[in-house]
Amino acid sequence: MKITKIKGYYIKLPLKEPFIINYATYDSMHSIIVEIHTDTGLVGYGEGVADEHVTGESAEGIYANLELIAPQLIGENPLNIEAMHNKLDTMIIGNPALKSSIDIALYDILGKHANLPIYQLLGGQTVERLDYAKVLSVKTIDETRKDIDSLLLAGYKVIKVKLGGNINDDIEKLKQILDYIKDTDAEVRVDCNQAWSNPKVIVQAINTIHDPKLKWIEQPLKYYDIEGMKYLFDHMNVSLMADEMIKDVNDLARLKTPHFDLLNVKLMKCGGIHNAVKLIRVAESLGIECQIGSMVESSIGSAAGYHTAMALKNVKSTELTGPLLFSQDIGDLKYDIPYVDLGEATGLGIKINERALESLTVKQFEM
């Protein structure tokens, strides 16, 4: 099998409402879609979503680099995924979201070639079905309470709250949230997106909370503050999750002793399914449980993440809800709150809405 044609699309996915975290507000998500054609007639789809604050990439950069390297992939066998990654790594350093877009398309082709869903190729089902958290962006406590009412009514059980302001104000808001859900069966996760700065102050503040509904604190410190994360790990009475500080297996390998309980793995951070599997396996050997997280991708990137989560027992949670946030998507990944249905269709298992893809496309190329 050989790659005969590659199409690239720069698209903007409209959000139902702005998504707010401590360093940015998003009205739409900019995504790069890759369409790889083969001489057997099989077509694979992939996606790359950038975050300058995490991988240093921009959507414009992914698109430009994809257009640059695409001609060098023509004629290659898309089934040789390890070799394709080696080729990509020699062509361009870093750029994990770019590589993820190609990787996902390759796995889509592999699944269609094998007539199996991707998760079967990665090891098969480890759970009957996957659930996911509802992520709440930064809002006032009154707005957050209204959101909680809506999501509990919809059937969600896990709430992920974005914080990232003054630590004392954040802790007060967190206590109010925990008090608000005390008579429900919901639980709370916190994501700070690197916004806090003083480990001793963080420990003093967090350790005033003694509530089993608070499951973990995610990446409260800057990605480079390894010593600070160690202090939190040693002194905080709540589990600690790493995100931005660990992009791929190489980042994890550089730490002689990882100082966190959990790891948020994102395909866009590490370079796709192939590299995510490596990272999750190494984390498992170190006793670190993993989550598959999201850069707010469409059905393409979200499905790829769910296939990875389905096949690896060390993935204990998922947060891939981009398609639920968009007013228009390019795929049909099926959600049944609070579960996702991957089904048994081949490859990614989704159908691409070509009309939606066309209407959301800002620019495109074909090689």
| Cα dist from 42 to 36, 110, 113, 160, 302, whole Å | 8, 9, 7, 38, 21
Q: In the annotation, is 218 catalytic?
A: yes
**Could you say which of 162, 173, 215, 269 is catalytic?**
162
Q: In the annotation, is 316 catalytic?
A: no
Pairing of strands 130-131, 339-341: antiparallel
Q: For residues 204 and 207, what is the distance between their CA atoms, to the nearest angstrom? A: 5
Q: In the annotation, is 244 catalytic?
A: no
- Alpha helix stretches (DSSP H) within the chain: 59-69, 81-91, 96-114, 118-122, 141-154, 167-180, 199-206, 226-235, 249-254, 267-270, 273-285, 299-311, 322-325, 354-360
Paired strand residues for 31: 11, 49
Other CB atoms within a 10 A radius of the CB of residue 184 amount to 12
Q: Is there a contact between 47 and 300 (Cβ–Cβ < 8 Å)?
A: yes
Q: How far apart are the first and last CA of the chain?
A: 17
Q: Which residue has the tokens 């959000």?
A: 15
- In a 3-state reduction of DSSP, which class is residue 215? strand
Q: In the annotation, is 16 catalytic?
A: no
Q: In the annotation, is 185 catalytic?
A: no
**Could you say which of 218, 225, 248, 297 is catalytic?**
218
Q: For residues 133 and 119, what is the distance between their CA atoms, to the nearest angstrom? A: 21
**Could you say which of 170, 243, 248, 329 is catalytic?**
243
**Could you say which of 67, 266, 269, 297 is catalytic?**
266
Q: For residues 199 and 229, what is the distance between their CA atoms, to the nearest angstrom? A: 8
Backbone φ, ψ for residue 340 (5° rounding): -120, 145
Angle between helices 199-206 and 167-180 (to 10 degrees): 20
Residues with a known catalytic role: 162, 191, 218, 243, 266
